[in-house]
Amino acid sequence: MESDLQRPSGDGARAALNELTADRERLAENVRVPRALMAGFGGVAAWWVGMAAATSPGQMYQPPAMGWLALAVSLVFVHLVQRDTGIRFRRMGPRALVAVAGAVVACLALYSISLALVSLGLHWGVVLTSVTAFASTTWLAGVAYSSAVARLRHG
Amino acid sequence: MAEAAFDEVIHAPLRLRICGLLSPVDRLDFAVIRTALGVSDATLSKQLKTLIASGYVASSKAASAGRDDARRITWLSLTPDGRRAFDAHVRALQEIAGLNPK
């Protein structure tokens, strides 16, 4: 035990630092992206975009109050991802943030398109925008999570 | 940036590796650390006890979905003191190794 506590040689210090890098590599390799939960984010996005079908675009337009519920459900999914993987990230990294921002922008754009479709009486078109929201958000959530995991390798 | 400072509590091989895994994250589950290090529960618990007693690591338990009530997730994280000490220790190792960190 005592020898562990002594100052290491240069080689010993290098070996210790290399081991830290190897451990982070191993940690990153062991993490699997929780695909089902990523699809959960997609489901929330599809639900939110689909809410446009129940609105009445025009002068009396009232945004659906369920938007806050969608946000709350998203936070529940974040919690579930942390519990499932056993990791809570400190920083997600710029690539992950771009992916999350991309998902938000895509959902806002799809919601706007949905409102336009509803105002034209094309309610069925909201199915397409909802499916697109599901696919794009699921994919972007996976990209964000993978990026955060890859960032672990760099400490 | 932390000033280089060799820390004997952290330097014990397994404790250094535990801190190294906790450093880039906010917190990790006990089981994730055990798997990454390839050690037994008892070995990991013993080293964690020392780090917790030194105020370098904090631990908290949470109920886990998919497990029965008796099994809970044990979350582990570096405390601010632990993070400072680990960063300073890594800088000391870099200096000893002649890597001259900037």
| Residues A53 and A17 placed together within one structural domain of the fold | no
> What pLDDT score does A153 carry?
81
| Residues A9 and A54 placed together within one structural domain of the fold | no
Element (H, E) at A87: strand A87-89
| Residues A10 and A73 placed together within one structural domain of the fold | no
> What pLDDT score does A6 carry?
73
CATH 1.10.10.10, applies to B8-96: yes
| Residues A38 and A74 placed together within one structural domain of the fold | yes
| Residues A114 and A53 placed together within one structural domain of the fold | yes
| Residues A46 and A14 placed together within one structural domain of the fold | no
Contact A3/B at CB under 8 A: no
- The domain ranges of chain B are 8-96
> What pLDDT score does A115 carry?
92
| Residues A43 and A11 placed together within one structural domain of the fold | no
pLDDT, tens digit, 9 for 90 and up, residues B28-85: 999 999 999 999 999 999 999 999 999 999 999 886 655 554 557 899 999 999 999 9
CB contact under 8 A, A154 and B73: no
pLDDT, tens digit, 9 for 90 and up, residues A12-71: 899 999 999 999 999 999 898 999 999 999 999 999 999 888 887 776 666 667 778 899
Confidence of residue A152 (pLDDT cuts 50, 70, 90): confident
Which residues of B lie inside 8 Å of A (Cβ-Cβ)? Answer: 6, 8, 11-13, 16-17, 20-21, 23-29, 31-32, 35-37, 62, 64-65, 73, 75, 90, 93-94, 96-99
* Span B97-101, average pLDDT: 76
DSSP B10-63: HHSHHHHHHHHHHTTEEEEEHHHHHHHHT--HHHHHHHHHHHHHTTSEEEEEEE
Contact A80, B65 (CB under 8 A): yes
Overall number of domains in chain A: 2
Containing structural domain, residue A13: 1-30
Cα gap A153→A139, rounded to integer Å: 22
Does position A1 have pLDDT exceeding 50, yes or no? no
Q: Longest Cα pair distance anywhere in chain A, in angstroms?
A: 79
| Residues A4 and A67 placed together within one structural domain of the fold | no
Element (H, E) at B73: strand B72-78
Residues in A 32-91 with any Cβ partner in B closer than 8 A: 80, 83, 85-90
Contact A51, A67 (CB under 8 A): yes
Cα atoms in the 13 Å half-sphere on the side-chain side of B42: 0
Q: What's B3's DSSP letter?
A: P
> What pLDDT score does A8 carry?
84
